[in-house]
Structure 1
Amino acid sequence: MEMRTQSSGRCLCGTAKPAAAVQQKHNLYLVLDDWDKGYSIYRVSEEDFVVSDADADADDKNSPRQQADSPLVRIKAYQCAWFVAGHETKIFAMNPAKSSPGIPVLDTATLSMTVCPNTYSRGNHGQRPVYASVGDRFLCFSYPFVDVLGPEPAALSGAWSWTTIEHDQPFDSTSVGGYAVHPDGRTVFMSVWGYNPDVSPARIHGDRCSTYAFDMERLDWTYLGEWTLPFRGQAHYDRELDAWVGICWYKQDGAAGRVCCCDVPPDAEPRDTVPTWRLGVDVLFRPDDLHFGAKLVYKGDSNFCLVESRRRVHDDHDGRYFRDVKMTSFALKYDKLGDLRTTRRRGYASLWYQSHKGGNPADDPVAFWM
């Protein structure tokens, strides 16, 4: 295993009020590809949601549509949503323009811009990385590297640095289907779809699915078994439900458009089967021909926001692509039978914009609750 540490001599920070002087109010932040040189970040507050007692489908009038025309900030970066990540109160544009001295970072608590040093894996753009926020550390998995960013220094003269681990990562990060951070605050569980660990090199796919755990303290991997978490993308631990919650993998029977929850293993030890999991009762979105992708955002205390990207009907002509971003805010609970259900009262909001990247159905929305 080879380790490297990189740092910038100092953080380059914009002028803003001190963090202690700003009262942080949590909002939903959307990252949209609505201009040709990068991304715009929009802020959606709780007041922007219309609360309804009735379920609303993809075209319900209870979802007010507004044009996304007043971004909070714009960031120059390569046009690929894979490389925008969130950690604590910060949004990282992980794949900046080549002229950038480092990675642009927006602090949503102070609305200040910071530049942190580049990762060692920068330039390894042929694959989709996986990002994980683990306590006060930010991890970037990009085969064959794992980059770990430490806490931001309190003083401007302090060094903000990455530690890079280079060793035989057991799989290509593009193969990761679902992942979740263990409540122990040090372990990341990752399920790999269609991957055969007996085939070399590691980038080659096979017909087997497996789950691995990365220990942030020991900086090493553990093979957990030939089973997978039931999630598509990131799942979140909720203390009240005592489970990981995420969007269910579409290929599970009857799972399309639903969330599910999964028991959390007590430790990162190998096991023969997937932990017990339950499929949510309510259908929250419909992955039809207009659907591009969806992401589940965790707001805390069993409250979530489902963000869905959809193509606008009859609007993709003359080389222009228009998208609706639909947001549904809801709470989850177990009913008397132990089934996972959303509360009846939900909040709805919607934005539409012209996409400059085109209509790629493989791209999920990029959204953070901060």
Structure 2
Amino acid sequence: MSARLQECDEQRGKRMPKRGRERLYLVFDDWCHGYSIRMVNLLQHTAGSGHPAPVHFSEPFCRIMAPLVSYFTSAFGSKILAVFSRDPEADSESYFPMLDVRSRCVTFAPGQGCPIPPIYYLPVGNELFSLSFCSFEMLCSEELSPRLQDQSCGMGWSWKQLSEKPPFYVDNVTSYSLHPQERTFLFSTKTGATEATYTFDTEKRSWKLLGYWKLPFAGCGHFDLGLNCFVGLSKEPDTLGQLYSCEVPIYDTDDGLCPCPVVKLCKENLLSECPIDMHVGATLVYMGGKSEFCLVQCVSPDQDRMDEEDVAHGVQLPGRRFYCLTTSSLSFNKDKELTTGNNRRLQYYKVPKEATKPFLQDPVAFWM
């Protein structure tokens, strides 16, 4: 391990909660005024066999009143943010809630100025970057004005529009991740048969073409120090439910472009093996520790007969839906193949019937 990566890990460890305090937080759009957040203590679960009997979630950890067109992200340690857009002229006093799951304290930051999906949120230190179809913004802290200041919080937040526009169309993004030095993030794109990966240096405020290849997984990838690589979930039909690992590319070479890093595909599949479980969507959650991950999969044993127009309008799925939680630890075997160990099908949870399909196709889950 390089001294720089070791230093990054030590700094990251100081910001993380003590082992055993972490919980899985799941967000649902099941409330008429907004969203509910459910908490699951995975560390209390015991390994089960077969198809566990579905159970109900416990009462919501909290509810967040917000427009039912909001985007959730985690940032600043133990905070969950419910971000929604605003009209900067007609609704200049609009703020979105930031819930700290440790203190259960809610603070507020100004809403964004009408970003257009797709939207990607990347926390870097005490800043949150938001890249959307029409804007590139940064949420940063500032001293609170006297009007907003109180005894519970000494800092405020504001959005800053960045002039460094990305050198690609945001709707062509296939995957993204944060470099382990926590200064640079990577975006991969695909346009036709052309693949490319770009980096953005948050200190130099500059974009750079890294190479004509893309990160292998779909959506967000997680850097794991034990494996010294990025890990992400495949959503391609032939490999759906399998995990990819990707070595960290050397992005600061003198000659500009770097070769495609080494990629490995895990042979094991983490999706539910029950024949009646129809796959709806899945999210991979990084649990830290010894390369530990949790797959949050939404399944339905009933046939889905909705058409595309129904899905676009966010109608509810007919029949039953469940969240299947599976934890696993990754490692490289003696043949240097990526493999899973200690796979545990923990529990099936009954999804609130009010939750809509678009929200369940990419389950919103955080480990903190």
Q: TM-score range by the shorter chain?
A: 0.7 to 0.9
- The match for 1:90 is 79
For the 8 Å contact 1:227–1:272, the answer to whether it is kept is no
TM-score (norm 1): 0.78
Whole-Å Cα distance in 1 between the matches of residues 252 and 331 of structure 2? 27
Superposition map of 1:355-370 within 5 A: 355-356=353-354, 358-360=356-358, 363-370=361-368
Deviation for aligned residue 1:335: 1.1
Whole-Å Cα distance in 2 between the matches of residues 144 and 96 of structure 1? 12
Whole-Å Cα distance in 1 between the matches of residues 208 and 322 of structure 2? 41
Superposition map of 1:210-289 within 5 A: 210-250=196-236, 254-269=238-253, 270-271=256-257, 273-285=259-271
| Counterpart among 28, 31, 34 of residue 32 in structure 1 | 28
Deviation for aligned residue 1:47: 4.4
For the 8 Å contact 2:23–2:367, the answer to whether it is kept is yes
- The match for 1:108 is 101
Cα distance per residue 1:192-215 (max 9 Å; x no partner): 122xxxxxxxxxxx5422111111
For the 8 Å contact 1:144–1:169, the answer to whether it is kept is no
- The match for 1:323 is 321
Whole-Å Cα distance in 2 between the matches of residues 158 and 358 of structure 1? 35
Deviation for aligned residue 1:49: 2.5
For the 8 Å contact 1:92–1:105, the answer to whether it is kept is yes
Cα distance per residue 1:292-323 (max 9 Å; x no partner): 22111111121111111122426989965442
For the 8 Å contact 1:291–1:361, the answer to whether it is kept is no
The 1:360/1:319 distance shift into structure 2, 3 A limit, reads closer
Deviation for aligned residue 1:155: 6.7
Letter in 2 for 1:105: M
- The match for 1:309 is 298
Whole-Å Cα distance in 1 between the matches of residues 362 and 326 of structure 2? 15
Range that drifts further, 39-48 or 280-289? 280-289
Whole-Å Cα distance in 1 between the matches of residues 316 and 62 of structure 2? 26
Letter in 1 for 2:27: V
Equivalent residue of 1:344, what SS? Answer: strand
Whole-Å Cα distance in 2 between the matches of residues 74 and 361 of structure 1? 16
The 1:263/1:297 distance shift into structure 2, 3 A limit, reads same
Superposition map of 1:73-84 within 5 A: 73-80=62-69, 83-84=71-72
Whole-Å Cα distance in 1 between the matches of residues 24 and 165 of structure 2? 37
- Is it true that 1:192 corresponds to 2:181 in the alignment? no
- The match for 2:171 is 174
Whole-Å Cα distance in 1 between the matches of residues 156 and 333 of structure 2? 50
For the 8 Å contact 2:324–2:345, the answer to whether it is kept is no
The 1:268/1:79 distance shift into structure 2, 3 A limit, reads farther
The 1:164/1:141 distance shift into structure 2, 3 A limit, reads same
For the 8 Å contact 1:256–1:286, the answer to whether it is kept is no
| Counterpart among 122, 126, 130 of residue 132 in structure 1 | 122
| Counterpart among 339, 346, 350 of residue 352 in structure 1 | 350
For the 8 Å contact 1:77–1:97, the answer to whether it is kept is no
Cα distance per residue 1:110-160 (max 9 Å; x no partner): 1111111223xx3224x1101112233221111342222235869734332
Q: Which 5+ residue runs of structure 1 have no aligned equivalent?
A: 1-21, 55-59, 195-205
- The match for 1:342 is 340
Cα distance per residue 1:194-251 (max 9 Å; x no partner): 2xxxxxxxxxxx5422111111111121112221110101111111111111112516
For the 8 Å contact 2:85–2:114, the answer to whether it is kept is no
Q: CA RMSD in A?
A: 3.1
| Counterpart among 30, 33, 37 of residue 41 in structure 1 | 37
Letter in 2 for 1:311: S
| Counterpart among 242, 263, 285 of residue 297 in structure 1 | 285
The 1:80/1:158 distance shift into structure 2, 3 A limit, reads closer
Equivalent residue of 1:150, what SS? Answer: strand
Letter in 2 for 1:259: L
The 1:294/1:345 distance shift into structure 2, 3 A limit, reads closer
The 1:211/1:284 distance shift into structure 2, 3 A limit, reads same
Q: Looking at secondary structure, tell me which structure has more helix per residue.
A: 2
- The match for 1:5 is none
Whole-Å Cα distance in 2 between the matches of residues 45 and 286 of structure 1? 20
For the 8 Å contact 1:248–1:279, the answer to whether it is kept is no
Whole-Å Cα distance in 2 between the matches of residues 280 and 23 of structure 1? 27
Equivalent residue of 2:171, what SS? Answer: helix
The 1:156/1:345 distance shift into structure 2, 3 A limit, reads closer
Deviation for aligned residue 1:347: 5.0
